[in-house]
Chains A and B, each alone.
Chain A
Amino acid sequence: MKYLHLIWAALFRRKTRTILTLVSIVTAFLLFGMLDAVRNSFDQAGQSANGAQRLQTGSRLSFIQTLPSGLSSQIAQVPGVKSVAYANWFGGAYQDPHNQVFSFAVSDNYLDQYPEVEASPAARKAFENTRTGILVGEKLAQRFGWKVGDKIPLQSTIFPLHDGSKNWSFDIVGTLKAKEASAAWYDQIVLMHWKYFDEGTAYNSGMVGWYVTRVNDVNQADRVAKAIDAISANSDHETRTQTEQAATAAWMKQLADIGLIVGSIMGAVFFTLLLLSGNTMMQAVRERTSELAVLKTIGFTSSSVLLMVLAESVLLVLLGGVIGLGLASLLIPAVAKGSGGMLNLPGVTAGSWMLGLGIMVLIGLLVGALPAIRAMRLNIVDALAGR
């Protein structure tokens, strides 16, 4: 520690070079921070304490196949089940068929299953009392400039009304707000009454897209899931029940192997960075040969010279890396906002910081190793003579 000023002075001996190198390191870790946030947001989806308590029951045939609504009372009787709710995919779009909005027709108790989603008691009450009422996510409302009390049309790309038209009309009675990062996408959805939906279209006739069941005891989840599937075994509407976590994970895996993509990009970036800062350190040590020799002459041991060069390179990478990650944590909210709420990024998490710091130290050590060993082995007489 007491040599910090010495290391610092050595680092900024050539300001231009150090600053140029720093900028490269900053960009590398800026990229790392942003990509890691993307990876995290994929990993995090569906992973929460509340999510572990929920089971999703869908058709075994496929996710677009529906189930009879009568199953609801049967599932409720399975021991260990706390409550059952159900939902249907509505396939809504606002103004333009390509402007799709995540919209679901849900049972009245649907929101009880999601304690991490907040709706004011007044909004819940108004929702219960309004047949055409909808609750909309806060960010979605912002995006389209909706206010509570507005009457809005939504086109369903799947379900026409009885008269063949697709323009359903709804009244906004309240907003939804996610209390946890893992439920962030509830800020983007529209919930409507399943009853209004079912009566409004000729294409549903009492069917349900999926059931959401809460269990009393998380450890019993597997047993309850099997019991629920057993109800409709060998019928024409066999079900498959999974924990919310497993269902989301399977879904994300089908979407893309984000881990692999992020991993390969970061591999390329860090390899380049290694080379770049390695080159800088080599130059720095080569230039200072005579100074290092003087240090050794006045009594610094070989190992302390080694440590000082290593410390210098670690400091260089740490400095750039911390600035880069800091920039990333500033930029990510801006990016998330700029995307109109389409991207939900959790920001740079503590985990990312730890991983990032670990990588910084590792790269610093790798980069410093060669020049440091060269500095350690320096022969004083040769170095002073400039040989």
Chain B
Amino acid sequence: MSKSKNFLFGFGLFLLVIACLAVWINLPPWMVAAVAVLFALWMAFTRRGRQAASVTGVGISTLKARLGSSAVVVIGIAGVVGVLVALLAMGEGYAETLRKTGSADTAIVMRGASASEVMSVLDRDSVVVIPQTAGIARNAKGEPIASPEIVVAANLPVKGGKSADDEGSVQLRGVGEHAWELRPNLKIIAGRKFNPGMRELVVGKGAQRQFAGLEPGREIRLGSQQWTVVGVFASEDALESEVWGDAPVVADTYRRGSSRASVTVKLADPNGFKAFQSTLSADPRLKVDANTTLDYFSKQSEGTSKVIRIIGITVGLIMAIGALFGALNTMFAAVASRAREIATLRAIGFRGLPVVVAIMLETMLLALLGGVIGGALAWLIFNGYTASTLAQGSVGQLTFAFHVSPALLWTGVKWALAIGFVGGLFPAVRAARLPVTTALREL
């Protein structure tokens, strides 16, 4: 009879935990703050709460004696949070780098149904017609701000490669004269811009970091021709991983004739994209698709950042299970070693609840400490750490920096507290349910 009752109790507890975790994961920060405040008020102003506070005080003051085993909880959870935050920061950094590349007031026009710039080809007629479409901003000289661009892959020797054959792929963009006006955040940080018609290149900061021989003044070989690197630009986005040249010269080297891959335009009215799009699709001479660059680049990052996110959460979950059992182990041991003390408390009139609350608070404090340490480590080591990959929808290495955002740190702390919650609950309940007489006789 009591066995089945025990089982039912355990099962009920288990369901409760699942429900709590589900609510917890979706809880917005202000709600968490509200819960914390309510809890503090309860502790300060009710009889039970004050009891809980004093039991917690005893537990925390004896932590020193259990330093080794408490460290297991802290470091275990720090490991989980560190790895989780680092992996999520990788996905976040990747997505952010691409997202920053686009803006809502510029649009990219490509051949219809092309998934990315590399796959698109616009013939000469389209390239001439598109910039004349209504809705494109004009500069001081009255010219439409539109840049027909061509995107190809170029092989360049990798920095630190073992042999000259150790080559990587970089995205080479041939741009029109208005490319610079289109991207005001792009700054030349060394040297100068290329001269139209010359075999000159400006290289992105990220590309320079990745590939050898991209210093201003150096000559590099692209295909069968020598090019001179004349400048370096920084833009803090995906363009930084590219190498730029004059569109006609690039098209010539890569035998693309007068065709281009895309036309990027600045919209006269930031909200005028819909109108611009419908003007384009109404033009019988054109078979093209337009997207705001914000949309286009966000979509490019979708697949990869989702994969990174799933990997991060899977690895985090498995590690969390490991750390959870470590925490359970430690807290069961702590409860066992304090069994007599807890039983005494209950014998002199403390009820079960304050005991449960005290042990859970202790575990969650340790977990919080672990979460903060893990998050801090991830931030110290990985924030701004640069990595590169072959990006989806591009043909070159994309360099991006890990971005440990406050939101990610918050996620990490939430995970830590969740592990602490579950890790503390079961030992706490055992402590509160142990018959006082048995516990007093123990040891």
Contact = CB atoms under 8 A, between A and B. Distances in A.
Interface of A: 16-17, 20-21, 23-25, 27-28, 30-31, 34-35, 60-65, 91, 93, 97-98, 100, 155, 157-158, 160, 164, 166, 203, 234-236, 238, 240, 242, 250-251, 254-257, 264-265, 268-269, 271-273, 275-276, 279-280, 282-283
A254 B319 contact: no
A223 to B, nearest CB: 15
A264 B326 CA distance: 21
Given A255-B389, A272-B322, A279-B69, A157 B115 contact: yes
Nearest to A276: B326
Given A20-B332, A254-B168, A62 B325 contact: no
Interface string B291-303: 0000000000001
Interface stretch (B135-143, B147-155, B267-275, B412-420): B147-155
Contacts of B329: 17, 20-21, 24, 276, 279-280
Contact of A61 (B114, B154, B168, B332): B154
B113 interface: yes
A91 B119 contact: yes
Nearest to B333: A283
A272 B323 contact: yes
A342 to B, nearest CB: 9
B133 to A, nearest CB: 20
Q: Which of B318, B322, B397 has the most CB of A within 10 A?
A: B322
Contacts of B127: none
Contact of B322 (A27, A236, A256, A280): A27
Contact of A157 (B69, B71, B114, B397): B114
Contacts of B113: 97, 155, 157, 166
Contacts of A268: 79, 82-83, 319
Contacts of A251: 390
B152 A64 contact: yes
A166 B110 CA distance: 14
B287 interface: yes
B82 A61 contact: no
Given A27-B319, A158-B119, A279-B330, A272 B76 contact: yes
6 contacts: A24-B329, A35-B315, A254-B169, A271-B75, A279-B69, A282-B68
B328 interface: yes
A268 B395 CA distance: 34
Nearest to B328: A20
A372 B165 CA distance: 53
A251 B79 CA distance: 32
Interface of B: 68-69, 71-72, 75-76, 79, 82-83, 86-87, 111-116, 118-119, 121, 152-155, 165-169, 172, 222-224, 253-255, 287, 303, 315, 318-319, 321-323, 325-326, 328-330, 332-333, 387-390, 395, 397
A165 to B, nearest CB: 9
A276 B72 contact: yes
Nearest to A271: B79
A141 to B, nearest CB: 23
Contacts of A16: 332
A254 B397 contact: yes
Nearest to B79: A272
B152 A60 contact: no
A202 B71 CA distance: 68
A61 B397 contact: no
A240 B116 CA distance: 26
Contact of B321 (A23, A98, A160, A235): A23
Given A24-B322, A28-B322, 16 more contacts: A20-B328, A20-B332, A24-B325, A30-B318, A31-B318, A34-B318, A60-B155, A62-B172, A64-B153, A91-B115, A91-B119, A157-B113, A158-B119, A265-B87, A275-B76, A276-B76
A265 B90 CA distance: 13
A64 B118 contact: yes
B152 A65 contact: yes
A40 to B, nearest CB: 16
Sorted nearest first, the 10 A-B pairs with minimum C-beta distance are A62-B153, A27-B322, A272-B79, A20-B329, A23-B325, A61-B223, A276-B326, A24-B322, A157-B115, A24-B325
A255 B396 CA distance: 10
Contacts of B303: 98
B153 A31 contact: no
Nearest to B256: A65
B321 A283 contact: no
Nearest to A155: B113
Contact of A236 (B72, B83, B224, B388): B224
Contacts of A255: 389-390
